[in-house]
Structure 1
Amino acid sequence: MAQIEASRKFCLAIEEMMTISEALIATATEYIVAHTDSTSSFDWGVRSSAWRNLGTGFPHQKYANDLAQQNIELKWHLAKHWASAALDEKIRIATWIVSDWGGIRRNSEMTILGYVNQADAERPATPFAGISSYSKILAIKDPDRYAVFDSRVAASINAIQLLDVSRRRLKPSDALAFAIPAGRNSAVTDFRDDDGAPASLARRGFALVETDSIYGVYSRLLNDIKCRVGGLSLLQIEMVLFARAPAPCEDARRATSENSTLLKESEAARDPAS
């Protein structure tokens, strides 16, 4: 009961910061509910050497056949470890989650130290720069309040909205365009560089999310979904977005291409001379 009350208060506290359209929340919530089983396809394998480097006693082999559950258990295991760790150990664990687990190896020691200090701050600074890295640290510091924001999650959110706009189920004026960090999935990258780019979405009538406000808006959206869907954690919502990412990106590109073709055919039919 105490955890539910704390979650409710956190939802209300975030709600005071800004407003997201009810239509967008409904679109995202409907998508998450419809694809909750997608976490079973969550595929984020970690190398054996990385597990050896972790050194916190996490029984990763216990979940070798269920990577989704492994991810959930890992985050809560590291949150517990973080709570009693000294600064040096937090830096080591933060480096591990960003580099060994996340595959991002471009951060300096000083950068990681800055992320660790922010993670332990009452109100962490959340600029767009470094968002794929520091959000991983926030997500192990407190999985009940923070979620990872990366290329796949961002692309999913943009694609889900674009699909419903294409289907006339969501007004462009109710939609938000999120900048998408660089990633490694080809379908996500193709979407990011074309239909899913903020400038492209803005031309369709989406409101641009200020880059340094993106993590706050993202957190608000996930918490709004969580507050409306009982039984799902932020981590599970994020995992649905992550696991599903290539599919809505491909579907959105296909839908916008088909709509563009239909529009051209309609215009040609109205103007035979053309």
Structure 2
Amino acid sequence: MKSLEKTLLCYARKHVPTLPSIYTWEFDTALVYQTFGWDIGGSNWYEKASALKRYASQQWGASPDQRMALADYAVRVWGGVKGNASATMQGYVQIVSQGQVPINHKGIASWSKVAAFSNPNEHAIFDARVSFSLNVLQMLQGDEQRWWFPHLAGQNPRLKACWPRLKTQARKQGWLRIATTDVYSTYIGLLISVTRKLQVEIGDVEMLLFSKAEDFASAFNEVYPSP
């Protein structure tokens, strides 16, 4: 994992400063105020998203009765993931409220949002874009051993088109597959190691990987074009 840490550190050191211009995930700040009473400030979407998570974390700690509402907003409204049953969301809230996360990566794109909104200092979102970026970063810039992060279902057609070829190349190169029970802890450990060296938040590196996914898709297509 040291080789991946070195690769990500080098990439993040160069690109994290660009987050105010490249992170563009928008949300309805008026709806946030109407729902929770939070006045989200910031001059760009990176600053606004960071403020949103801070407010959510404060509310999570101060008002346990609001945790389901916070989780629903984080996953369904802000994150746009609408397929979770109420019982599933209740399970995520319960386990995160106990200071834990689910034991395997099933549903990770949803429950990691709940975890990140509950405590952005210790948790970060892991979704299809993040996983894709970590894999392609290793494919194009890594050295020594490479580690395969799971293929998660996502809505981006450019990433969807790349995943089969990405898997094929990873198999040819003998990548090590991260066990389903270790995906999130491996990811968070990686972010912590990198962000301590850069003196930034773990959410900064997560937002960088999220924002750069389409750029990684373009770079991957140049090296491994579709037949």
In the TM superposition, what is the alpha-carbon distance from 1:158 to its structure 2 partner? 0.3
* 1:251 aligned residue (202, 206, 219): 219
- 1:184 matched to which residue of 2? 155
Moved over 6 A (4+): none
RMSD, matched Cα: 2.0
In the TM superposition, what is the alpha-carbon distance from 1:74 to its structure 2 partner? 0.4
* 1:206 aligned residue (175, 196, 200): 175
* 2:131 aligned residue (154, 161, 167): 154
Number of residue-to-residue matches in the alignment: 226
In the TM superposition, what is the alpha-carbon distance from 1:48 to its structure 2 partner? 6.2
- 1:75 matched to which residue of 2? 53
- 2:146 matched to which residue of 1? 175
Task: State the AA in 1 paired with 2:18.
Answer: S
Identity, % of aligned positions: 22
Q: Determine if contact 1:38/1:243 at 8 Å carries over to the other structure.
A: no
Task: State the AA in 1 paired with 2:149.
Answer: F
- Matched residue SS, 1:132: helix
* Residue 51 (str. 1) matches residue 32 (str. 2): yes
- Taking the aligned partners of 1:250 and 1:162, their CA distance within structure 2 comes to 13
* 1:86 aligned residue (43, 61, 64): 64
TM-score (norm 1): 0.77
* 1:37 aligned residue (13, 17, 41): 17
* Residue 164 (str. 1) matches residue 141 (str. 2): yes
In the TM superposition, what is the alpha-carbon distance from 1:120 to its structure 2 partner? 1.4
Deviations 1:94-139 (A, max 9, x none): 0111001000111111111100011112332242211000000000
- Taking the aligned partners of 1:68 and 1:120, their CA distance within structure 2 comes to 26
- Taking the aligned partners of 2:33 and 2:164, their CA distance within structure 1 comes to 37
Point out the structure with max Rg over C-alpha. Answer: 1
Structure 2 residue runs of 5 or longer lacking an equivalent are none
* 1:234 aligned residue (196, 202, 224): 202
TM-score (norm 2): 0.92
